[in-house]
């Protein structure tokens, strides 16, 4: 027999919208850093301009992100307590130290990228990759260890968070590259090389970089990166699919949440924005032979995945609290 609730108190949200935006920004930062290092380390000189863009984006985003975290606190002035009253079992404590070390390592990396010192780029790239993965991975654990909502409290969350970070990171780097070249008419080949010519060590590299990027037009280069982006989108879609499928059978509350995403209040955001606009359309644009090398299509795809991943963060954080748990 069904029981009708006639009185209950409203509860406060577990995580608020600032946290969703914060997760988005760390994801963007980690994603662009990984792309930057991959572009430099794989020795693919034609991708160097993207590597440099990523190296700039990573620390900038990571400076904005903690400001959101601090303003979200009930007691913002007490944020520094995090460094003195340490609780090793709390993912927020891990985050405190990661958020301190990672931007520093990003800045050192950026410094050597500007210097064109290939050896140090490699060293700090290799140090930075696990840090970048941890700095975004810990936010996945923040969710996975929180028992407020069944959509958070599952072991898929950290991986889903990381893969979507890669999607948004690549999207942002592509978008910035197009804006720089087309809107601000910066020659990306020169951009990749200009700083490094100032130092004698980087001179040779810069010249090879400039010459090889010179022969590769922007849309060709982005078409190549777009293939990786498409791969990550497919992986991301698979994880979201698994998540929803399991939610549907996990518990009554989880099923109610899944229903809210599929047919309820969040179905427009989830199916319309996140899945269709944020993943399927970009996937088509990036893979179809007629659009994959068109700059216009690449711009649209990059903007759409950026919107899609932000929507996904919003749906998981805010939509994840759209049914009563108590």
CA dist 170 and 51 (Å) reads 11
Q: Is 87 in the site for another protein (CB under 8 A)?
A: yes
And the tokens for 129? 């990759």
Judged by CB under 8 A, the residue of 15, 218, 233, 312 near another protein is 15
Report the alpha-carbon distance of residue 43 to residue 277 in Å, rounded: 34
Q: For residues 51-80, which are near another protein according to CB under 8 A? A: 72-79
246 scored as a contact of another protein (CB under 8 A): no
CB atoms within 10 A of CB 276: 13
Given the rule CB under 8 A, which of 83-91, 177-185, 266-274, 307-315 is the region that contacts another protein? 83-91
Per DSSP, 25 falls in state H
Span from 147-155, 165-173, 189-197, 307-315 in contact with another protein (CB under 8 A): 147-155
Q: Does 100 bind another protein (CB under 8 A)?
A: no
Q: Which residue has the tokens 């946290």?
A: 19
Question: Which of 20, 98, 114, 142 forms a contact with another protein (CB under 8 A)?
Answer: 142
Nearer to another protein, 156 or 303 (CB): 156
How far is residue 100's CA from residue 79's CA, in Å, rounded to a whole number?
13
Question: 151 with 314: CB under 8 angstroms?
Answer: no
Structural contact between residues 31 and 169, judged by C-beta atoms closer than 8 angstroms: yes
Residue of 54, 67, 151, 152 whose CA lies nearest to 109:
54
| Of residues 105 and 139, the one with the C-beta less far from another protein | 139
Is residue 10 a contact residue for another protein (CB under 8 A)? yes
267 binds another protein (CB under 8 A): no
Closest CA to 135 of 56, 16, 29, 15: 29
Q: Choose between 14 and 214: whose C-beta lies nearer to another protein.
A: 14
Q: Which of 91, 140, 158, 169 binds another protein (CB under 8 A)?
A: 91
Segment contacting another protein by CB under 8 A, of 40-48, 81-89, 187-195, 211-219: 81-89
Q: Does residue 211 contact residue 189 with C-beta atoms inside 8 Å? A: no
Residues that bind another protein (CB under 8 A): 1-16, 72-79, 81-82, 85-87, 89-93, 95-96, 142, 145-148, 152, 252-253, 256, 321-326
């Amino acid at each position: 027999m069904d029981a009708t609730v006639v009185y209950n108190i409203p509860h406060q949200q577990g995580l608020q919208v600032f946290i969703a935006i914060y997760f988005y920004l760390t994801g963007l930062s980690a994603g662009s850093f990984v792309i930057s290092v991959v572009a430099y380390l794989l020795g693919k000189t034609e991708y160097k301009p993207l590597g440099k863009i990523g190296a700039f984006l990573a620390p900038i985003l990571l400076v904005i992100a903690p400001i959101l975290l601090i303003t979200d606190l009930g007691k913002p002035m007490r944020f520094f307590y995090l460094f003195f009253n340490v609780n090793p079992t709390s993912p927020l404590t891990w985050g405190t130290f990661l958020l301190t070390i990672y931007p520093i390592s990003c800045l050192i990396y950026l410094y050597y990228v500007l210097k064109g010192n290939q050896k140090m780029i490699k060293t700090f790239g290799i140090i930075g990759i696990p840090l970048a993965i941890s700095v975004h991975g810990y936010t996945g654990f923040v969710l996975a260890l929180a028992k407020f909502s069944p959509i958070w409290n599952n072991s898929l969350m950290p991986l889903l968070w990381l893969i979507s970070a890669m999607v948004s990171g690549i999207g942002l780097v592509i978008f910035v590259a197009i804006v720089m070249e087309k809107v601000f008419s910066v020659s990306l080949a020169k951009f990749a090389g200009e700083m490094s010519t100032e130092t004698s060590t980087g001179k040779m590299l810069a010249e090879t970089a400039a010459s090889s990027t010179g022969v590769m037009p922007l849309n060709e280069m982005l078409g190549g990166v777009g293939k990786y982006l498409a791969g990550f989108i497919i992986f991301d879609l698979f994880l979201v699919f698994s998540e929803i499928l399991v939610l549907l059978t996990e518990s009554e509350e989880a099923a109610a949440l899944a229903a809210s995403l599929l047919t309820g209040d969040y179905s427009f955001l989830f199916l319309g924005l996140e899945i269709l606009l944020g993943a399927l359309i970009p996937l088509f644009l990036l893979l179809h032979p007629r659009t994959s090398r068109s700059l216009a299509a690449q711009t649209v795809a990059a903007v759409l995945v950026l919107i899609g991943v932000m929507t996904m963060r919003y749906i998981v954080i805010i939509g994840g609290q759209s049914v009563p748990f108590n």
